[in-house]
Amino acid sequence: MKPYSPQVVTFGESMALFLPSQQQSIERADSLQHRFGGAESNVAIGLARLGVDVGWFSVMGDDPLGKRIVKAIRGEGVDVSRVLYSKDAPTGMMFREQISGRNAVHYFRKGSAASTMTPEQLDEQYIKDAELLHITGITPALSESCKNTLYRAIEIAKKHGVRICFDPNLRLKLWSLEEAREVILKLAQEADYFLPGWDELKLLYDTEDEALIDSKLNELKATCIVKGKGDFNVIYEQGVQTQVPFYPAETVVDTVGAGDGFCAGFIAGVCKGMNTYEAVRIAAINGSLAVQTYGDWEALPEWEQLQQRLTAQAWIER
């Protein structure tokens, strides 16, 4: 029997998330809610809800936090059969609060189990038989071994003709901008789909010059989907730019996870055989719905809910 591989494979750190209720500060809160989050597992959950066969893996601490997270991700319909557990390192944690109306994140992930990932732990067959590998710029920021693991996963994907989707997810709390530039711009050259935000690009290319950034994107072989360039998401494909309007959110409650929702929607569209424009429309709706309740992934819609928005709502600019 041929070993099982899902349609989409992704991997990275998922952490226990603690946050106060009622938008209090952590310093003054009497209790904290316990959730979890991580860019790649958020995307995986989003894909599963949209009917895409998806697998996520990581190294988690062999502790109650790690086991709780894996069970929850499995419960969302994501294959977690390649997850490993470490007895020597803990599951990472993050604490989030609102300060002056803006989210502040405090990481406790240095030396976490996920940061110990090594290339030898990858299951080549699992990646080889997938259609698409989704990666982010967070994983190489965790440690040198994580960076090497990511490079090895890309090598496997390219060897076997697996498409690569890359979201830079620039996290300057994890590494310096100079370190991030060197790695992320290299990874962009390896991708088939590159999903940066416009503000990320200005930092990565160290310029405010729109024409220069446009030229850099046009040099990439990847189809680039740029989030938030003015009042549009913009597709760069074969030297042509196509603007795709935002999808309006009735209410914005929590913007965390919007980019992961966008990414899940785009990949789902690609997996369902849509063209790039159609996939970005799906991405925009998915990202819009993700911000309308609290949590990193809790508001991500099912496919039927997304289809209702696609067919019943006017496609308008924000």
260 is catalytic: yes
> Is residue 80 within 8 Å of residue 73, measured between CB atoms?
yes
Catalytic residue among 79, 167, 254, 260: 260
Interatomic CA distance for residues 146 and 174, integer angstroms: 13
Distance CA 91, CA 109 (A): 8
**Nearest by Cα to 194 from 171, 165, 214:** 165
Rg (CA), the chain: 19
| Tokens representing residue 33 in the block | 């809610």
CA distance 8 to 165: 10
Q: How far apart are CA 256 and CA 37, in angstroms?
A: 10
Q: What distance lies between CA 88 and its chain's CA centroid?
A: 27
As beta bridge partners, residue 224 has 194, 236
Residue with token string 């990481």: 107
Question: Token digits for 12?
Answer: 């990275």
Q: Which residues are catalytic?
A: 260
